Chains A and B, each alone.
Chain A
Amino acid sequence: MTLDVKALRAQFPILQREIDGKPLVYLDNAATTQKPQVVLDAIIDFYTTTNANVHRGAHFLSDEATRRYEKARDDVAAFINANGREEVIWTAGTTESINLVARGLGQLLKAGEEVVVTEMEHHANLVTWQQACKVSGGTLKVAPIFENGELDVDAFSALLNDKTRLVAFPHVSNALGTVNPIKELTAKAKAVNALVLVDGAQGIAHGGVDVQAIGCDFYAFSGHKLFAPTGIGALWGRKSVLENWPVWLTGGEMIADVTYQDATWGQLPNRLEAGTPNIAGVIGLGAAVNWFSELDLAAVQAHEQALLASAHEQASAIDGMRVIGTAPKKAGVMSFMLGNAHPADVGFILDRQGVAIRTGDNCAQPLMKKFGIPGTARASFSIYNTLEEVDKLYDALRKANMMLA
């Protein structure tokens, strides 16, 4: 079955926009995806009909808001095949999810223990662990990648030992598009009894995430890369691990009993969710996962791969174009250099033609350094992009090549 992209696009009002008189070609989906009408409606409807604080009101609206809010937790739990709803912790997004785990690890890690990450990390999955190691006297080990952006799995394995306390890696690399063999990596880390966190920021929107099948302990993701609003995301954690994880944010909602001098913590998921949550965001995320779940996943993935394949094929016909990240298994992202042109210049010229891409260090400065480049231009694709838009990207790139030569 093929995806009806035209019908899909019609659900995203923003895709009808024109930029400088040209139809918007939105290829910055790895930064954030656009939102379908049903998600926008869910947010507006919540504020229009149901707005109240959750979990504490003694009134009708609060009950209704709480029901809708907790229903979204069920929906997200089902979406990633969590073992239970209490394993889904609301956060502001991937970065906060990883911070929640990293702050806790900073307390648990003993001097001499090790954390393993990879060379392809986004700063969110690097600086967090680096700082946890700094406060605890732990050591950060970095598994190398090959020139094509693929993880060197043997070198990764060689870093694992009985001192390894936690291993973190991206599901999909935001800068290179590499899809990591996350089950295999998890199994290797589990063989030395390490905890495993998967940075799912770029993985979640490609569908089919099954946290139980992966076997990891934590899976972190953002709503806004999954057609939901910004400012909402989740940390999935294995119940047995989360139950005893050190609390990070303290305050209302997360406590059991409080005296002036002491406090005890509530049950999951509340013990890791202090304060009034992003209720509308949660409801938007619930709407987004339900909307996404209705799509034919195989058709979605085939369409995404077709977009990426077309992008890679056409790259070889452009003078001086060099794709950064050519791992055999990729998803969503094509980073590139255009001859000697600075990525920022490429971005300007594309922008003028209505083509929206990302330029810069991709929040991965050490990785860019490894490739000896200041940054890249990055086109990233989502389910509503078309093959014609990939062609438009290349029309725009040919023009950029001409102007910047």
Chain B
Amino acid sequence: MTMSLPSTQDIVDDLAFFDDWEQRYQYIIDLGKSIHGLPEDAKTPDKLVKGCQSSVWLESRVENGLVTFSVDSDAVIVQGLLALVMAAYNNKTPKQILDFDIDEYFTELDLERHITPTRGNGLRAIVAKIQELARRSIN
């Protein structure tokens, strides 16, 4: 899947530009809408990462040494957060994926509390799944 997402640095700069949280969240929601989700029939249980607050589906392929993803969530803010994650991971090599400091990125975005292990939105689990996938394709 091709996603026309800004780079992570652009996102960090864009979000820093807004002075209130509403604009920031609106930006995140819009970013989520800009990535295509999964068709309903592709949302199979094996792709489901279940959080107790919302559910997330993840599909991945490796082509020409690059990992590409399709993601979907039933919640629009989670979809937006997924877009932030995708900006970091989509169409990257496994090494680039493993080298990327996602916690630092979310801290820069001032969104670190959305990616704590305790958060029930499945985001942390998605990140773990992506990193595991990258690790396996290297070995």
Contact = CB atoms under 8 A, between A and B. Distances in A.
Interface residues of A, number: 18
A359 B121 CA distance: 11
Interface string A324-360: 0000000000000000011111011100100000011
A352 B21 contact: yes
Contact of B52 (A345, A352, A360): A360
Contacts of B52: 360-361
Contacts of B29: 403-404
B54 A342 contact: yes
Contacts of B78: 342, 344-345
B22 A344 contact: no
Interface string B63-87: 0000000000011111000000000
A20 B53 contact: no
A375 interface: yes
B26 A403 contact: yes
A95 to B, nearest CB: 16
B120 interface: yes
Contact of B53 (A347, A403, A404): A347
Given A360-B52, A360-B53, A348 B25 contact: yes
B123 to A, nearest CB: 11
B120 A342 contact: no
Contact of A343 (B21, B22, B53): B53
B21 A344 contact: no
A360 B78 CA distance: 14
A344 B25 contact: no
A359 B22 contact: no
Nearest to B21: A352
Contacts of A343: 53, 75
Nearest to A404: B76
Contacts, number: 45
A110 interface: no
Nearest to A20: B21
Contacts of A341: 76
Nearest to A363: B52
Contact of A359 (B53, B55, B74): B53
Q: Taking each of A342, A352, A375, which has the highest tally of chain B beta carbons within 10 Å of its own beta carbon?
A: A342
B25 A352 contact: yes
A374 interface: yes
A359 B51 CA distance: 11
Nearest to A343: B53
Contacts of A359: 53
Contacts of B76: 341-342, 345, 404
A374 B25 contact: no
Given A352-B21, A359-B53, A361-B52, A344 B75 contact: yes
A403 B29 CA distance: 9
Nearest to A399: B22
Nearest to B29: A403
A257 B29 CA distance: 65
A342 B121 CA distance: 12
Nearest to B55: A374
Contacts of A348: 25, 75, 77
A404 B79 CA distance: 13
Contact of A349 (B25, B74, B120, B121): B25
The 8 closest A-B pairs by CB, nearest first: A342-B75, A344-B54, A344-B75, A344-B53, A360-B53, A348-B77, A360-B52, A345-B75
Interface of A: 20, 341-345, 347-349, 352, 359-361, 374-375, 399, 403-404
Interface of B: 21-22, 25-26, 29, 52-55, 74-78, 120-121
